[in-house]
Amino acid sequence: MINSNTESSDSIVVIVKQKLNDYYLLMKFTLSFTVVFSSVVCYLLAPGISFDFLSVLLLFVGGMLVTGSANAINQIVEKDTDALMQRTLKRPIASGRMSSNEGWIFAFCSALIGIFILGIWFNWLTAIISLFSLFLYAFVYTPLKKIHGIAVMVGAIPGALPCLIGWVAGTDSLSLGGWILFCIQFFWQFPHFWAIAWVSYNDYSKAGFKLLPDKGGPTKFAAIQSILYQVILVPLCVLPYFAQMTGKYSLIILCVANIFMLWQCIRLYIEMDIKAARRVMFGSYGYLPIVLLALLADKLNG
């Protein structure tokens, strides 16, 4: 009897752990965390805002719920193509461990709770922008990926809106600082996502995704585009200093980070291989937190 109860308890624990892990995968927790991280930093960069644990926590929770909802809808829509790719076939809906209906319920509840947290605690402009970002990512960018490479540009808008969302949460306005931060994250995404699409080109092609700027795939044109968008980031990263958002120390760090990333993009053009694309990809992973944290540290020290 004791053994039977113990086995039953162990089975329940295993089931609960599997279900929690499935929801973790459904909301793409790591990606959602990265998105919300930029939103929280940009909130703290807003003028007159100092660190308040409760506000930061609620911005984080609300942002995670809305972002998790968008990622869940993405997986519902792409369940068939996810099942074709090695890196996504174990996702809960693609693998059949979770039904689409369960995914929709999670997405709806998460979005609803997240939007209300952002609207009630901060302001309704923050909530509206968050809802717009969810719609653009889940219902425009997601299906567009199979149609045209312009999907990356469309997807870069909801990808950059967390910066604006954080700023608006702190200021209740669409002022210059928020747009500067939006533009930095917007243009950062092009070398970042094109490098990922380069590395995973065969997998993406199998699923019918068109994410590179050239129909021919990983070409010189794609590499040149990465260089051009990285070049645009150079003057953009000077703007926070001239807009008096931060000081000279972050300006130096941002310039060094941009020169490093520009060199990696140039190396991709010269070498034209997956190894060079990986350097751009991993470099871009580090670039954004370095830029945002440098801006924040400079503001806090100022």
State the burial class of residue 262 (Cβ atoms within 10 Å of its Cβ: 0-12, 13-18, 19+).
middle
Q: Which amino acid is at 166?
A: G
Mean pLDDT of 57-82: 94
State the burial class of residue 276 (Cβ atoms within 10 Å of its Cβ: 0-12, 13-18, 19+).
buried
**For residue 55, what are the contacts with CB-CB under 8 A and spacing of at least 6?**
43, 121, 122
205, two tokens: 């092609």
Residues 93, 75 contacting (CB under 8 angstroms): yes
206, two tokens: 């199998």
**DSSP conformation letters of 224-238:** HHHHHHHHHHHHHTT
pLDDT in tens, 181-203: 999 999 999 999 899 888 888 88
Does residue 72 carry a pLDDT above 60? yes
pLDDT in tens, 105-158: 999 999 999 999 999 999 999 999 999 999 999 999 989 988 887 888 999 999
**For residue 183, what are the contacts with CB-CB under 8 A and spacing of at least 6?**
160, 236, 239
44-78 burial: b if 16+ Cβ within 10 Å, else e: bbbeebeeeeebeebbbbbbbbbbbbbbbbbbbbb
232 compared with 204, residue with greater pLDDT: 232
What dihedral do alpha carbons 5, 9, 14, 15 form, nearest 10°?
A: 100
**For residue 244, what are the contacts with CB-CB under 8 A and spacing of at least 6?**
none
Does the pTM of the predicted model rise above 0.75? yes
- Would you place residue 26 in the very low, low, confident or very high pLDDT band (cuts 50, 70, 90)? very high
Mean of all residue pLDDT scores within the chain: 90
